[in-house]
Amino acid sequence: MDAYADDIEKVLITAEEIQAKLAEMGEQITRDYEGRKLLLVGVLKGAFVVMADLSRSIRLPLEFDFMAISSYGAATKTSGVVRILKDLEHDLKDRDVLVVEDIVDSGLTLKYLLKNLAGRKPASLEVAALLRKVGIQQVELDLRYVGFDIPNEFVVGYGLDFAERYRNLPYIGTLKPAAYGS
């Protein structure tokens, strides 16, 4: 059974809802980039689950690359401090690049990342994010594909962690207060 079920306060988005939404997003991306090939850039670690499922509903020639940046550490508040821990292996010049994100919270992480990637002169640069927290983006961001807008609560599951746990939950949920201490 679900090893983390006792820690979850409520399920915000079910596994079925996530899968249906990613299928829709994949179809849209397939239409928008018809006749082109795409480089998916995943932001580790959170995006690896979204990337795996989203990519399988994109019917285009795809290449994958990953970047690791840190903004949070184990805490649950954005620090605004972003560091590149692992850079891309691909040259982005003249490539169609789609950045895949798990969640856009303050937007600070993504803003930093997009500025950095734009400097490498891709042919196009867009973002697909599974989740966006509403009303709290500190920076203007143009997100081409967004799965769900969610309230400003800390969530886990489907790639998202608290202190490196809960990434393997197939749904998105909030934690019981007691789970933050365990």
Shortest CB 72 distance to Mg ion, Å: 5
Helix/strand number for the chain, H first, E second:
3, 9
Burial of 151 (0-12, 13-18, 19+ CB in 10 A): exposed
Q: How many CA atoms lie within 13 A of 90 on its CB side?
A: 21
Binding-residue pattern over the window 122 to 151 for ligand IMP, x denoting contact by CB under 6 A: ------------------------------
Residue 57 binds ligand IMP (CB under 6 A): no
Shortest CB 170 distance to ligand IMP, Å: 16
Q: Strand 8-13 relative to strand 172-175: parallel, antiparallel, unpaired?
A: antiparallel
Give start and end residues of each alpha helix (H) in the chain: 15-32, 48-55, 108-118
Which listed residue (2, 32, 105, 142) is catalytic? 105
Binding-residue pattern over the window 66 to 85 for Mg ion, x denoting contact by CB under 5 A: ------x-------------
**Of ligand IMP, Mg ion, none, which one does residue 107 interact with (CB within 5 to 8 Å by kind)?**
ligand IMP
Give the binding range for ligand IMP (CB under 6 A) out of 24-32, 59-67, 97-105, 119-127: 97-105
Q: For residue 114, give the nearest of 56, 43, 171, 173 by alpha carbon.
A: 43
Q: Return residues touching ligand IMP (CB under 6 A).
A: 46, 71-72, 78, 102-110, 154-156, 160
